Chain A
Amino acid sequence: MLQAPDSYPIDRPPLKSTLSMPYTLTPGRAAGVFLAETKNRRLVGSRCGSSGLVCVPAQDFCPSSGGADMELVAAPHTGAITGFTQTRAGIIATIRIDGADFDFVHRIVGAEFAALKVGMRVEAVWAQTPTQSIMDIEGFRPAPDAPVGTIEPLGEAAEPLPMKPYHMDLHYEHAFGPFYGRMFDEIGTNRRLMGVRSTHIDGALLPPREVDDISYTKTGTWVTVPDTGTVRAMSVIHLEFKGQKEPPPYIYAEIQLDGAVTRLIHSIKGIDMSRASELVKPGTRVRAVWSDARTGSLSDISHFQPIPDDVEPTST
C-alpha cells in the first residue's frame, strides 16, 4: 500500500473570485406596464378574469387561479401593513394595497419601529427622480387618516417597459483544501507542478485529488511533473466576450504534461499568430513560460510556447 499523500496543512487563504454579470431583463406585459407607469406616479395592478382577484403590483398570472386573462387596473396609493420586520436596510413590511387580494414587500419610511402595528394604514411616498423600478416608490409611510382607496380602470397606459438593465456582482471565497493547496503552493513557491498517482494509473493526475475518478481508490504519492508537454487539442480564439481575461487572438490549448495522464488548459503564445493553426497542432511540443508573479495559481505560468524539433518522451 502506498502511503497517504503528504498533504501537510498549508495555510492558504481562500481563492477570492468575483463574477460580475450584466443582464437585460424583460419584465413582460404586466410588470412592464407597472414599471413604465411609476414615472407618472401611478400604481398598476392586475385583476384576474377567472378568479376576480387583484394583484398590486400587476402580475401576468394570477397567484390564485394561475389564470392569464389579466385586466390591468389603477390601484390606490394607500393600504395597510400586514407584517413587518427591522433589517439593517431599514424596516421592511408586507403591504396590502386597498382593494388588492395579495401582499407585496416594500420599505416603511418616516416611522419608528416601535410605533408600527399590523393593520396600520400607510400611503406611498414617491421618489423625486424616477428610475423605472419598484424603488420609484421610496417607501410607505403611516397615514392613519388616509381614506380607503378603490381599484379603478386603468384607462390609457404607457407601453410596457421592454427591457431593464440589471447587474449582479457575486463574490466567492473558494477553499483550496489540502490537495489543491499543496499543488498551488508548489507552483507559487517552488515553481513546481505536482500531481498524485494512484495504484491503478501509471502517471500523474492533475489537478491532484484524494480519490482516483476511475478506480475509486485513494490516490498515493505526490509526483513532480516537468513543465513540458504535448498539445492534445487546440483552438484559435478570435471571439471576444464579457469576462475574457486576455484580448484575442490567442490559442486555447489542452496540454498533456509529460508524465501526466490528464490535460491542463492554458494558452500558447510566442508564435506568429497569423499562422497559428499550422504552427500549433495536436502533437506540438510545448514548454511553460513562467511569469514573474508568484500568486500560486495557474496564471503563474504566463503561457506555453512551442519547443522546436522536440519529441515526446516515449516512457513516463
Chain B
Amino acid sequence: MSRHVGIVGVGQTHHSRRRTDVSQAGLVREAVDRALADAKLTIDEIDSIVVATGPVLFGAVNMPEKWVIDACGGRMKPVVRITSGGGTGLAGALAAYYQIAGGQHERVLVVAYDKLSEGALQYSISTLYDPFWGREFAVGIMGFSAAYWRARMDILGHTEEAAAMVSVKNHTNALKNPYAHVKKAITVDDVMKSRPLAWPIKLLDVPPISDGAAAIVLSSEKMAAKSTDRPAWILGIGYFCEADNAAARSMLVSEPLALAARRIYRAAGITNPRRQFDVVEVQEPYTCFELSYYESLGLCAPGEAAALIASGATQIDGDIPVNPSGGCMGANPIGAAGLVRLIEAAAQVMGKAGEHQIPNAKLALAQSGGGWANLRGVAVVSA
C-alpha cells in the first residue's frame, strides 16, 4: 500500500522571453527559494531533490543537475535528473511522488526549468527524430503537430476557428496570471489572420518561447502539517508512452493520454470527469492540442471539442474551466511547463491561485506530455 503524498509548497519564476540577469542556475534558485518559502521549510528539511529539464541541447550544458547542485541545495542529498521533453516537469513530479509513496523519503523538492532563449529551439527539437528516418524533414514538433491537426480537422471537426477560440481564452486568462509574460488581449479574428508558420498552425496558435523555472515540495502525510493545513493531495499521477513508428498509430486521439486518464481516473475515483473536476490545467504546445485533449481526457466525446470550446464551458467562468492560468500561452519554459500545470492545479485546490482562482475548487486535473506526442501523463489533485 503506497503512502499518501501531498503538494505542500509551490513556486515559479516570473517567466520571460529572455532573462539576461540570471544564469540557468540562478533561475533554478529563484523557483526553489519560492517553493521552500511557500512550504515554510528550509533546504535542510528536504530529504531528496529531483531536477527536471528539457533536452540538454536547449541549454548547451550536459548533465545540468551537476551545474545547479549549489543552486538547488542538492549538496550531500540524493539528486536525480529526470527529462522527458515537454513532459519533463510532470515526469519529475512523478519521480518525487514515487520516492515518498514508496516510503523512501518524507519530503522531496522538484525543480524544473528551461532557459530557451539560449539555444536554437526548433533545431534542437528536430533532433528527437530518428537521424535516418524523418529528421531531415522535421520542423521541431510543429510540423507533425500541424499535420496531425490537419488530419483531425476533417474527421473530428477541430477547425481553425475552434483553435482560435482556445488561443483567445488562454491569452485572456493569462492577463490575470502574474507569472505569465505574454499579456495580450486578442480576438478570434487576430488569430485567424496571424501569419501561418506551419499551416494550419498560425503565429497566435503558438505559445511563446520562455525562460523560466518552477519548483514544488512534495510531502508525506506525516510531515505535511508543518507546511500547510491544506495540501493538494495527489490522488493519482501517471505517465504513459506509445511507440514512435508502430503500425496504425492514431493521429486522431492521443492513445497514451487516454490510457493515462483512464488508469488515473480509476485510482482517483473519477467516473465523470467533466462533472467532477472543478478545474483543468493542460499543457498545450499549440492550440490544436487543447482541443484534442478535451477528447482524450474525456471532457467531451470525440468530435465534440469544437462545440465544447464554443459553448464557453472551458472559460474561466464555465462549468469545466481549462487553463485559467492561461496555460502555455502566457509562458512556455518547456522543461518547466508540465510542473507549472501541476502547480496551477495544486494552487487551485489549495485556494491560493490568486486572481484566476476558481471559487471553491476542490478537485483538479493536470495534464502534460512530451516527445513526438507519444509520451503523455496526468495528475489528479484534491483539497
Q: A176-B132, A253-B147 are in contact. Are A233 and B71 (CB under 8 A)?
A: no
Residues of A within 8 Å of B131, CB to CB, are: 15, 17, 172, 174
Q: A23-B60, A162-B20, A262-B246 are in contact. Are A239 and B139 (CB under 8 A)?
A: yes
- B105: Cβ under 8 A from any A Cβ: no
Residues of B within 8 Å of A235, CB to CB, are: 139, 142-144, 146-147, 149-150, 198-201
- B266: Cβ under 8 A from any A Cβ: no
Q: A15-B132, A239-B122, A241-B122 are in contact. Are A252 and B19 (CB under 8 A)?
A: no
Task: Please state if A59 and B70 are interface contacts (CB–CB under 8 Å).
Answer: yes
- B127: Cβ under 8 A from any A Cβ: yes
- A126: Cβ under 8 A from any B Cβ: no
List residues of chain A with CB under 8 Å of any chain B CB.
15, 17, 19, 21-29, 31, 59-64, 66, 68, 160, 162-163, 166, 168, 172, 174, 176, 180, 184, 201, 203, 205-207, 209, 212-214, 232-239, 241-245, 252-254, 261-267, 276-277, 281-282, 297-299
Q: A23-B60, A176-B132, A237-B143 are in contact. Are A60 and B195 (CB under 8 A)?
A: no
For the residues of B in contact with A, the DSSP-based class is: mixed
Task: Please state if B151 and A282 are interface contacts (CB–CB under 8 Å).
Answer: yes
Which residues of chain B in 290-315 are interfacial with respect to chain A, using CB atoms and an 8 Å cutoff?
none
- B138: Cβ under 8 A from any A Cβ: yes
Task: Please state if A24 and B118 are interface contacts (CB–CB under 8 Å).
Answer: yes
**Nearest residue in B to A160 (C-beta to C-beta)?**
B21
CB distance from B79 to the nearest CB of A (A): 12
Among A60, A162, A236, A297, the residue within 8 A (CB) of B199 is A236
**Which of B122, B136, B138 has the largest count of A CB atoms less than 10 A from its CB?**
B136
Q: A174-B131, A203-B247, A235-B198 are in contact. Are A21 and B136 (CB under 8 A)?
A: no
Task: Please state if B197 and A238 are interface contacts (CB–CB under 8 Å).
Answer: yes
| Complex Cα gap A26–B88 (Å) | 22
| Complex Cα gap A263–B147 (Å) | 12
Contact string against A for B residues 234-251, beta-carbon threshold 8 Å, 1 for contact and 0 otherwise: 000000000101111101
Among B23, B122, B132, B138, the residue within 8 A (CB) of A26 is B23
| Complex Cα gap A102–B131 (Å) | 42
Task: Please state if B60 and A21 are interface contacts (CB–CB under 8 Å).
Answer: yes
Residues of A within 8 Å of B201, CB to CB, are: 235
- B26: Cβ under 8 A from any A Cβ: yes
Q: A205-B247, A252-B147, A282-B154 are in contact. Are A63 and B123 (CB under 8 A)?
A: no
Residues of A within 8 Å of B26, CB to CB, are: 28-29, 60
In the complex, besides A233-B144, A243-B123, 19 extra interface pairs with C-beta distance below 8 angstroms are: A15-B132, A28-B25, A29-B21, A60-B29, A63-B70, A68-B33, A180-B132, A212-B247, A233-B150, A234-B147, A237-B143, A239-B122, A252-B143, A261-B247, A263-B249, A265-B134, A265-B144, A277-B199, A298-B132
| Complex Cα gap A245–B126 (Å) | 11
Query: Number of residues in B with C-beta < 8 Å to the partner?
Result: 64
Residues of B within 8 Å of A168, CB to CB, are: 60
Residues of A within 8 Å of B123, CB to CB, are: 19, 21, 241-243
Q: A23-B119, A29-B22, A207-B130 are in contact. Are A238 and B245 (CB under 8 A)?
A: no
**Nearest residue in A to B60 (C-beta to C-beta)?**
A23
Residues of B within 8 Å of A245, CB to CB, are: 136-137
**Nearest residue in B to A172 (C-beta to C-beta)?**
B131
Residues of B within 8 Å of A163, CB to CB, are: 20
Q: A28-B25, A61-B29, A233-B148 are in contact. Are A21 and B120 (CB under 8 A)?
A: yes
Task: Please state if B150 and A281 are interface contacts (CB–CB under 8 Å).
Answer: yes
**Which of A19, A168, A281 has the largest count of B CB atoms less than 10 A from its CB?**
A19
Residues of B within 8 Å of A201, CB to CB, are: 247
CB distance from A70 to the nearest CB of B (A): 11
Residues of A within 8 Å of B118, CB to CB, are: 23-26
| Complex Cα gap A267–B247 (Å) | 21
- B196: Cβ under 8 A from any A Cβ: yes
Among B29, B57, B60, the residue within 8 A (CB) of A25 is B60
Residues of A within 8 Å of B122, CB to CB, are: 239, 241-243
Contact string against A for B residues 215-238, beta-carbon threshold 8 Å, 1 for contact and 0 otherwise: 000000000000000000000000
CB-based closest 6 A-B pairs: A28-B23, A235-B146, A243-B123, A233-B147, A162-B20, A61-B70
Residues of B within 8 Å of A277, CB to CB, are: 199-200
- B124: Cβ under 8 A from any A Cβ: yes
Contact string against A for B residues 22-44, beta-carbon threshold 8 Å, 1 for contact and 0 otherwise: 11111001000100000000010
- B377: Cβ under 8 A from any A Cβ: no
CB distance from B126 to the nearest CB of A (A): 6
- B115: Cβ under 8 A from any A Cβ: yes
9 contacts between A and B (CB under 8 A): A26-B21, A60-B23, A66-B75, A206-B245, A207-B133, A213-B243, A238-B196, A253-B147, A265-B144
CB distance from A275 to the nearest CB of B (A): 12
Task: Please state if A233 and B251 are interface contacts (CB–CB under 8 Å).
Answer: yes
- B117: Cβ under 8 A from any A Cβ: yes
Q: A28-B26, A162-B20, A243-B123 are in contact. Are A267 and B137 (CB under 8 A)?
A: yes
Task: Please state if A237 and B60 are interface contacts (CB–CB under 8 Å).
Answer: no
Task: Please state if B60 and A232 are interface contacts (CB–CB under 8 Å).
Answer: no
**Nearest residue in B to A252 (C-beta to C-beta)?**
B143
- B73: Cβ under 8 A from any A Cβ: yes
- B140: Cβ under 8 A from any A Cβ: yes
**Nearest residue in A to B247 (C-beta to C-beta)?**
A261
Which residues of chain B in 228-278 are interfacial with respect to chain A, using CB atoms and an 8 Å cutoff?
243, 245-249, 251
Residues of A within 8 Å of B126, CB to CB, are: 243
Task: Please state if A282 and B120 are interface contacts (CB–CB under 8 Å).
Answer: no
Q: A205-B245, A232-B251, A282-B150 are in contact. Are A239 and B22 (CB under 8 A)?
A: no
CB distance from B197 to the nearest CB of A (A): 4
| Complex Cα gap A232–B139 (Å) | 17
**Nearest residue in A to B62 (C-beta to C-beta)?**
A168
Which residues of chain B in 27-81 are interfacial with respect to chain A, using CB atoms and an 8 Å cutoff?
29, 33, 43, 57, 59-60, 70-71, 73, 75
| Complex Cα gap A297–B136 (Å) | 10
Residues of A within 8 Å of B200, CB to CB, are: 235, 277
| Complex Cα gap A66–B68 (Å) | 10
Among B134, B196, B243, the residue within 8 A (CB) of A236 is B196
CB distance from B147 to the nearest CB of A (A): 4
Task: Please state if A252 and B137 are interface contacts (CB–CB under 8 Å).
Answer: yes
Task: Please state if B247 and A262 are interface contacts (CB–CB under 8 Å).
Answer: yes
Task: Please state if A26 and B19 are interface contacts (CB–CB under 8 Å).
Answer: yes
| Complex Cα gap A281–B146 (Å) | 12
